[in-house]
Amino acid sequence: MLDNQNIEDYARKAAKASLDADIKYNRMRQGQAGVAEWEKAQAIFDNLSKSANFAACKRKPGDLAGLGSLGAIVAKIEQSGE
């Protein structure tokens, strides 16, 4: 459950950045894009994930709980279309 609008926004952006990085990675493997293009997309995803504190080991006691797995967050976003 996403119980904070800020976390939900980060999750939405991270899901989109993850998809973009995957697309660019596949394009790079097929010779349709350069390594730099994929690295830039991957760095954006990594930065969003770090900023959002998705990793349980990065959250402190008392931080917002209830995020669930990133897969569950992505599934929620895909189902809602946001």
How far is 39 from 25, CA to CA, in rounded Å? Answer: 8
Q: Note the pLDDT of residue 1.
A: 46
The confidence band for 11, taking pLDDT boundaries of 50, 70 and 90, is: confident
Span 52-72, mean pLDDT? 61
What angle is formed at CA 11 by the lines to CA 74 and CA 14, rounded to 5 degrees?
A: 85
**Which distant-in-sequence residues (6+ apart) come within 8 Å of 44 by Cβ?**
17, 20, 21
Give yes or no for residue 62 having a pLDDT over 60.
no
pTM of the model: 0.62
